[in-house]
Structure 1
Amino acid sequence: MTKRNQHVVPHPDGWAVRGAGSERASSVHSTQQEAISRGREVSGNQGTELLIHGQNGRIRERDSHGKDRFPPKG
């Protein structure tokens, strides 16, 4: 399985989790929070980034689960 960033996007049946570049959703949920939870689980397992889109389709939040090449000092 290839590692792809996961996107939480609006869907006609609610909210979907979709891998970057995929036409089809990997899962569909009735609420955005359910989709975010599933997306975090998938991106955490893959070590990829989760991009959460708003109702208008624009990215409103990001959550990275991969190795940070430039971690904060402290």
Structure 2
Amino acid sequence: MENYHLSQTPDGWELKKAGAVRASKRASTKQELVGLLADFFDGKTGSVKIHKADGTIEEERTYPRSTDPRRSKG
């Protein structure tokens, strides 16, 4: 399973694979980028850590949902 981070940049928000230099997706708002996640992960498995503007982790999502650990609250 690939790990991604959704975080704020000076130009907006980006989804970046852990360890990557370039962003996989970009958007002007966090809400817009979160709305693109399901389509981006269609046919893929991955985990996304969604950060707040201050850099702390707000939540973590797993795609597809069926790959969530059984004891996950989410």
Same fold at TM > 0.5: yes
Counterparts of 1:63 and 1:44, CA distance in 2 = 14
TM-score norm. by structure 2 comes to 0.74
Aligned equivalents of 2:39, 2:3: Cα separation in 1? 12
| Preserved CA contact (<8 Å) 2:2 2:45 | no
CA RMSD of aligned residues (A): 2.1
Cα 1:41–1:20 change in 2 (3 A) is: farther
Task: Give 1:44 shift.
Answer: 4.6
Q: Which amino acid aligns with 2:70?
A: F
- Structure 1 runs of 4+ with >4 Å offset: none
TM-superposed CA distance for 1:59, in Å, is 1.0
Identity between Structure 1 and Structure 2 (%): 30
Structure 2 Cα separation of the partners of residues 6 and 47 of structure 1 = 11
Q: Which runs of 5+ in 2 are unaligned?
A: none
TM-score (norm 1): 0.74
How many residues of Structure 1 are paired with residues of Structure 2 in the alignment? 70
Which of 60-69 and 25-34 deviates more?
60-69
Structure 1, unaligned runs of 5 or more: none
